Structure 1
Amino acid sequence: MARRLHFPPDPIRKAAVVGSLSPSRLISPFFVLIWSTGFVVARYGLPYAEPLTFLSMRFAGVLVVLAPFAAAAGIVWPGWRQRLHMAVAGVLLQAGYLAGVWIAIHLGMAAGLAALVVGLQPLLTAVAGRWMGEPPSGRQWAGLVLGFVGVALVVGNRIGTQGLTWQALAFAVAALLSITAGTVYQRRFCPGVDLRAGLLLQFGASLAVVLPAAWLFETMVVQWTWALAGAWAWSVFALSIGAICLLFLLIRRGAATRVASLMYLTPAVTALMAWAAFGEPLTATMVAGMALSAFAVAWAQGKR
């Protein structure tokens, strides 16, 4: 009778398979897809509610949804210093970033231009990486620059300067600075915090900032329609809970520069969504930009 031969598993092949199926690689596509819907939601929601008013409703909805689950789960809350760090990161990642983008679009800035301005985030995060002890390599710098060129190709023919004001540009730049600072701050000062506690702290702090601002500067009049209700529900469950949880996980698992480089894919995916949902044109130049952005992200996230 023939004797079977048993060979030990190849450790190199096993490591390659495990690496190719790492959680970050599995999470990243879902994060990009969900995050890219932000501009589409703005297009649906802004006609029926002012920016800060809508964001107040969004943040309040997240708190109402998460609070009962957090209470039932008996989560362990961090210390007061850690709570303060989470609140600061939340105001930067949520209130500052979202308010800046939504107000800029509300003031007449084209969505393509807003996406291009915010698309500078990976470059700023790479610079800030030196402060975090995560200096980008030459390969990552090349990928970041190529990624920005790809973003410019995607949104370049959609930029409209008519009606563009310095106020709108200032809010877009403020959004860029806010999300960059929030990404770096959370990576440095908020490691290992329970996701449920982190979300409650961050959205609570953001609501405490946005709601008074809405009361002071807006009418807070809301026209409830099916479009607004759908935009609100998607903003609460998919964007504010789903996408932010994925962002937290990515920030924990990867260097800030690699996480930020994923943002280069957002304008390209948003362009595809706008083409499918609203019939916006999709040119050969835009397709080339999408391909370049995808290559740049893969390059920036490669080995040093």
Structure 2
Amino acid sequence: MTSRFTMHLSDIGVPALFVVLWSTGFIGARLGLPHAGPLTFLALRYAIAAALLVLVAVAMRAPWPRRMSEVGHYAVAGLLVHGVYLGGVFLGISLGVEAGVAALIVGLQPLLTAALAGMLLGERVTAWQWAGLALGLLGVALVLERKLGQGPGDALGSVACLVALLGITAGTLYQKRYCGSMDLRTGSVVQFAAAGIATLPLALLFEDMRIDWNGEFVFALLWLVLVLSLGAISLLYVLIRRGAAAQVASLFFLVPPCTALIAWPLFGETLSTAALLGMALTAVGVALARRGAAKA
């Protein structure tokens, strides 16, 4: 009985913790981006995360990948999940796309993942899951309805957010298919290193690499490295390993509402009645999607 209760608590607690931590990424970006270029910020973030994980891996004597094929798979997943997704979101926001609109664009990921998971991974997506995904998308749209009325921002920034959507979708599917046995310590070193190697030349080419080293930027950087790059990403990979790709992706519907709740006391962003209704619909949609996956 105790074992069953612990497993049930883990099934609820780990996804909930992931959603909260992932949501704070938008908060960290809002705090840090005014003080550094998006690519400069990300290159520094990847470098620190990789260095910390090397120390952890050495201290814990974690196994390193032995085959170049493993290194290649980890690097591709890292480029998609870190380089393309984060790069697209940070670049889009810096080019003028509002955070709410960016979140909605990336919020299409569960639908795209569910559609592709059946074709690429052979996963069965049930009618209940599709209903939950559709309800979740409606909820996200209600949460962000005021932002949608203010226009999509810079067209190039919107394209960057669409690229980010493709990156996190492809990265989730790739991680599920090719990186299931990856050690989270050493494998993540490869992934962050690959993302950093790809991002740094772009930062040198398109940005002046200047950083305003104030308390706000340092806090945002440390938060994004320790809580997001090390904590939330590890939880994402644990969830991908334990569940179907479409089921895990449905959790991303909860991120915009959760972000709105966090931003409310921090930045004074108010929540409308429609937003509160959207949060409730999103929660129900995710519950339906995960319930449908359990019955599949």
Instruction: With the length of structure 2 as denominator, give the TM-score of the two structures.
Output: 0.95
C-alpha distance in structure 2 between counterparts of 1:72 and 1:163, whole Å:
47
Are 1:221 and 2:210 counterparts? yes
Aligned counterpart, 2:121: 132
Q: Secondary structure at the match of 2:144?
A: helix
Summarize the Cα distance change of 1:19–1:74 in structure 2 as closer, same or farther, 3 Å threshold. Answer: closer
Aligned length: 291
Q: Tell me, yes or no, if the aligned pair for 2:152 and 2:158 is still in contact at 8 Å.
A: no
**Counterpart for residue 49 of structure 2:** 62
Determine whether 1:283 maps to 2:272: yes
Q: Does 1:149 align with 2:165?
A: no
d(CA) in 1 for partners of 2:84 and 2:11? 26
- Helix, strand or coil: the match of 1:47? helix
Cα deviation, 1:45-71, whole Å, max 9, x if unaligned, reads: 111000000001101111221112212
Aligned amino acid, residue 296 of structure 1 = G
Q: CA deviation at 1:171?
A: 0.1
1:41 alignment partner, one of 28, 32, 35: 28
Deviations 1:250-275 (A, max 9, x none): 00000000100000000000000111
Amino acid at match of 2:275: M
Contact (CA 8 Å) 1:122, 1:261: kept in 2 or not?
Answer: yes
- Name 2:98's counterpart in structure 1: 110
Does residue 123 (structure 1) correspond to residue 111 (structure 2)? The answer is yes
Instruction: Give the Å deviation of 1:293.
Output: 0.4
**Inter-partner Cα distance in structure 2 for 1:183 and 1:242:** 17
Q: Return the alpha-carbon distance in structure 2 between the equivalents of residues 234 and 89 of structure 1.
A: 23
In the TM superposition, what is the alpha-carbon distance from 1:19 to its structure 2 partner?
A: 5.2
Cα displacement (A) at 1:15: 8.4
1:191-242 CA-to-partner distances (Å, cap 9, x unmatched) read: 1111101110100100000111100111111111100000000011000000
How many angstroms apart in 1 are the aligned matches of 2:268 and 2:55?
41
The answer for unaligned runs of 5 or more in structure 1 is: 1-12
Query: 1:112 touches 1:156 (CA, 8 Å); kept in 2?
Result: no
Ranges in structure 2 where 5+ consecutive residues have no aligned partner: none
Q: Which of residues 193, 201, 208 is equivalent to 2:190?
A: 201
Question: Which residue, out of 6, 9, 13, partners 1:26?
Answer: 13
Which letter does structure 1 place at the counterpart of 2:117?
Answer: G
How far is 1:24 from its partner? 3.5
Distance 1:16 1:37 in 2: 31
Deviations 1:138-168 (A, max 9, x none): 1101100110000000011123645822201
**The one of 38, 55, 60 aligned to 1:51:** 38
Larger CA Rg, structure 1 vs 2:
1
- Please, what is the CA RMSD of the aligned residues? 1.5
Give the CA deviation at 1:174.
0.2
Residue type of the partner of 2:60? A
Partner Cα separation in structure 1 for residue 145 and residue 179 of structure 2:
36
Q: Which amino acid aligns with 2:33?
A: L
Distance 2:276 2:204 in 1: 42
Larger helix proportion, structure 1 or 2?
A: 2
Which stretch shifts more, 70-79 or 189-198?
70-79
Task: Find out whether 1:100 has 2:75 as its counterpart.
Answer: no
SS in 1 for 2:185: helix
